[in-house]
Amino acid sequence: MPHTLFTNANLVLDGFTALQPSFSVLVKDGLIASVSAAPIDGGDATVVDVGGRTLMPGLIDAHAHIMGLSLTPKNIAYPAAEIAIASANYLRNCLMDGYTTIREAGGADHATARLLAEGHIVGPRLFYSGKALTQTGGGADFRTPDEEIDPCGHVGPFSNMSVIADGTDAVRKATREELRKGATQIKLFASGGVVFPAEGHATRYEFSDAELRAAVEEAAARDTYVMAHVYTDEGVRRCLKAGVRSIEHANFVTEETVAMMADCGAFYVPTFISLVQRVESAAETHLPDAIVDNLRRTIARGKQVYALAKKHKVPIGFGTDLWGPEAQKSQLREFEMRRDVDTPADILRSATATNAELLMEKGRLGAIAQGARADLLVVEGDPLADLSVLMDPQKHLKFIMKDGVVYKNELPAVALRSPG
């Protein structure tokens, strides 16, 4: 693998306070070998003169979904080939938007990860959950009251993103099965949703305490963790008591529960753009007014929870929760959603260093530091002062590197030169 030396770069470093000017960064064998304010002897490395632009870590989306063709996760009837094509396009578009890593929150599997690793498809580094666990009638059981079996005659959730498991033994077995298939973390549904509620009463919480603990215990045996889709206060508290590490959404929790998140060392991953995007597309998708009103309440309440998380110093991750290729076009708009509730520096930290820690990759991802993976972006402008430079990648994103491999280079020709 060729070596690369970046020169004349304004760096986004760990402090996320202000750009650090005139740095050099040497990349060798896919890793950052050296970071210095003094000149670096790159030997035979290809030199990239950043020209005073921003050199920053690649973005991380900690809650993505790549296995859909539309906004609905009820996708069992979609042709597998179409889903595969859509997921490959989703991944490529993620990378071209500056996301060099994603955590997939239900649906992606080892086959997708293998195709990425072998270079058959192009996209971010993939941390996949396999099939998310849901109970009968749970948040990811998408059957109507009239549906009992799927088109293949199986009892299932009518979605490729989830599997139904009831009882401690079944949850334990389902968790083990996803881990056997290479899942890097376990995803489960611990409450109902806000977009596609069942025709019955939406659940306040899902899975028994023993079921939740079983999933956490099995994940811990593989040195990993559980992430939980959960909106309600009671649902979040039950997850925290069971040892769930990553709390997704959590729009309706109290301040007491936010403080409990902090005490437990849990991560909080709000996902605003998926809710906003569904409101914006409600007429087109024929979403009922009652659900649209609920979405608006959910967004407003989520902003209040975000402020409480800041107050109690809960680590806040960055996720998007978007389904389908059309929705993916809004992936960078999560930055836009957060500008009213947080500072550019803290939002950028969420999408890099905090997410890296959440993924158990602290110091290896989301950072420009010796030994970190060489996932690097060159941006025209200062994202620590103005996040809008990240929202228009065609205009501002000039260079994309993942694992030391260049996937985009629109720097002036003089900026890239071979040794000698």
Residue 232 half-sphere exposure toward CB, CA atoms < 13 A: 15
User: Quick one: fold of 59-331?
Assistant: TIM Barrel (3.20.20)
Q: Which of 70, 201, 69 is nearest to 145 (CA)?
A: 201
| 42-56, 197-211, 255-269, 364-378: least confidently modelled range | 197-211
Q: Cβ distance 297 to 246 under 8 Å? A: no
- Kindly state the average pLDDT of the residues 379-395: 96
pLDDT tens per residue, range 161-177: 899 999 999 999 999 99
pLDDT tens per residue, range 123-141: 999 999 999 999 999 999 9
pTM of the model: 0.95
In the beta sheet, which residues pair with residue 229? 189, 248
User: Quick one: fold of 4-57+368-417?
Assistant: Urease, subunit C; domain 1 (2.30.40)
Structural domain spans, the chain? 4-57+368-417, 59-331
Dihedral angle, C-alpha 314, 318, 321, 322, nearest 10 °: 160
Distance (Å, whole) CA 195 – CA 27: 44
pLDDT at 420 over 50: no
- Kindly state the average pLDDT of the residues 269-281: 95
Strands (E), 206-284: 226-232, 246-252, 267-269
Q: CA 115, 120, 124 angle in degrees (round to 5)?
A: 65
